Amino acid sequence: MRVIDSHTEGEPTRIIVEGGPSLGKGPLAERRQRFAEEYDDVRRFCVTEPRGYDALVGALLCEPLDRTCVAGLIFFNNVGYLGMCGHASIGAAVTLAHMGIISPGRHRFDTPVGVVEVDLIDRNYAVIENVPSYRHVKCVSVEVDGLGQVVGDVAWGGNWFFLTEALPCPLNLANIDQLTRAASDIRLALKENGITGAGGAEIDHIEIFGPARSAEADSRNFVLCPGTAYDRSPCGTGTSAKLACLAEDGKLQPSEPWVQESIIGSRFKASYRGGANNTVVPSIGGRAFICAEGVLIRSQDDPFRDGIGEV
């Protein structure tokens, strides 16, 4: 399997460019389901140990259903599958440019949750126009062990998020373990109390906000992704969900810039335009860099040929 690794503002992406599973030609959401049901061993092989690690997000490069798109992308990580991934979409744009498939300009990606537009500015910087995003519920209150009452919003930005300013500790790298435990406890409390996204969808991303440390940023965040890995970038879908909440509260106007700072200090520059049915259409800009090109080898006599972890 041939892969190209990149990072977007510190968050890694591994794109399968050759040797991935053949999933047919239907809608990307259907192909993602087929991936999960029939080829989950490929996901584990690609991104879990000993060939990967918890923070690594994978993407399968495939043929788009929408013929206006330059590529289709199906996103996954060490525990499952994602609807969209902002940092990986930026990484995909830079990767496709590295491969000579696209050049600077506007392009479209087909994803399981809809078409995402991307403007490749140069070899390392891209701006994605994400899927329409919105706040589902405002000021949800949930009792969390060790934290007490935690209040936050439930919002969609391509994945489901619970966004809160209930800080268990300062947002810095020294507190990663404490932040991870707190976000995991919040996610568990949401599940135990039946708090979900639209249609009963699981809220699998927790986003904790605090003051920015840089004068050039508006906010700092810690994002716990599905599983126990935190996002090193400011999180593209999480920033999209945040913009939807700010817009509905009248705290951010269309085209007004919002700079989101990550837990490691990297930044996305974001804004939005109005969308249909009280949604916003976010634009998220960030840098990505190619880290490696390689071939993953799967030997049949390797006891960990499908990765290390529960099957």
Domains of the chain: 2-129+291-295 (3.10.310.10), 134-278 (3.10.310.10)
Marked catalytic residue, from 62, 69, 225, 235: 235
Token pair of 51, please? Answer: 């060939």
Token pair of 180, please? Answer: 């991870």
Taking the C-alpha atoms of residue 283 and residue 291, their distance in angstroms, rounded to an integer, is 25
Taking the C-alpha atoms of residue 172 and residue 176, their distance in angstroms, rounded to an integer, is 7
pTM of the model: 0.95
Burial class (CB in 10 A: 0-12, 13-18, 19+), 257: exposed
Mean pLDDT estimate for the chain: 96
Residue partners of 140: CB distance under 8 A and separation at least 6:
151, 152, 153, 154, 162, 195
What confidence tens digit (pLDDT) does each residue in 243-299 have? 999 999 999 999 999 999 999 999 999 999 999 999 999 999 999 999 999 999 999
- Concerning whether 245 is annotated as a catalytic residue, the answer is no
Q: Following DSSP, what letter does each residue of 94-130 receive, concatenated?
A: HHHHHTTS--SEEEEEEETTEEEEEEEEETTEEEEE-
User: What mean pLDDT comes out for the span 127-149?
Assistant: 96
Neighbouring CB atoms inside 10 A of 44's CB total 23
Q: Taken in order 93, 98, 104, 107, is the CA torsion positive or negative?
A: negative
Marked catalytic residue, from 62, 69, 85, 225: 85
What confidence tens digit (pLDDT) does each residue in 152-202 have? 999 999 999 999 999 999 999 999 999 999 999 999 999 999 999 999 999
Taking the C-alpha atoms of residue 4 and residue 15, their distance in angstroms, rounded to an integer, is 5
- Concerning whether 235 is annotated as a catalytic residue, the answer is yes
